[in-house]
Each structure stands twice: as C-alpha cells, then as structure tokens.
Amino acid sequence: MDQFNLKIFCKNCGISLLSHISVPSSLTLHLHRTCQAPNASESKMLRDVLLQAGSDLAQLDSEIDQVQAVLEALRQKREALLKFTAEHNAILAPICRLPLELLTDIFVRCLSSLPCRGERVNAKRWQRFSSLIDLSGPLEGSQSMSASLKDLSPR
C-alpha cells in the first residue's frame, strides 16, 4: 500500500485523520540531472508548484503539531490511568488482608535483623513504612500499635 494513500479515520466521527494534501508528480522530469535550464513556461509552472508546495508544507507542519499535542495528551492520560490501576490493584493485594499486628511483627523482626547503619537510616526507613500503614489502632489489650513498636524497635 502506498504510504501517501493510507486512509485513517476517526473512530468517533469518521473524519479522515490524514491530510488531503498530495505530493505532486514532477512535470519537468526531462530537466532532472541535466544542466538544461527550464524555458519560460516551465519556470512559471515550477514557481507555481513550489509556491503551493511551500504552503502545503506549512499546513502539514501545523497538522503534525496538532497530532503531536493529541498524542502527548493521550500519553499523559495513559500514565494517569496506569497510576490509578496500580494504586487500586494494591488495595486488592493479598497482603492487605493480613492483620496489622502480623504486618507490624514482620516489619519489626526485619528491622531488628538488619545491621544498624545509624539512627538516621533507620528513621528514614521507619518513616517510609509508617506512612503506608495506620499505627494508631489497638493492638492486643489497651496498648497502641505505635507504643508497641517503640518498645520493640532496635535503638
């Protein structure tokens, strides 16, 4: 299929998405790759064709800019939808069904088994982890989760 005759239509309205502009065939093939100058009528015809080609190029550049803007908007919308699905799939993750107490216990055991690299590193890890879960809920008895973690976390 000739790339210039490709037809692409809008799914919603059926309007052609490709420009109606066509590439003209050369009317002066006999002058190509020669040193022969065009005669007066050929010169006028070439100027007219080149003037139209310049106008067509400007229109194509404008259409390309519009299509690129649409493509960028589609890419941004796609990224937002990917983020949305990732966030909402995370809600359905099996780990979310584990009791908070069990998750906390796992975290504390992992944290205490890591070699200490200083309070600052552990504080950053703790801050990242604690932002993901609610530690204010009750544990067993009346002790809060945050109090339990403070008691169990390495110093």
| Domain locations in the chain as residue ranges | 37-97, 98-135+144-152
Residue 5 has pLDDT above 80, yes or no: no
100-126 residue pLDDT tens = 888 888 888 877 666 555 555 566 666
How far out from the chain centre does Cα 124 lie? 29
Residue type, 154: P
16 contact partners, CB below 8 Å, separation of at least 6 = 7, 8, 9, 10
- In this prediction, residue 98 carries a pLDDT of 87
Which pair of tokens denotes residue 144?
Answer: 């809060």
42-79 residue pLDDT tens = 899 999 999 999 999 999 999 899 989 999 999 999 99
124-138 residue pLDDT tens = 666 666 666 554 554
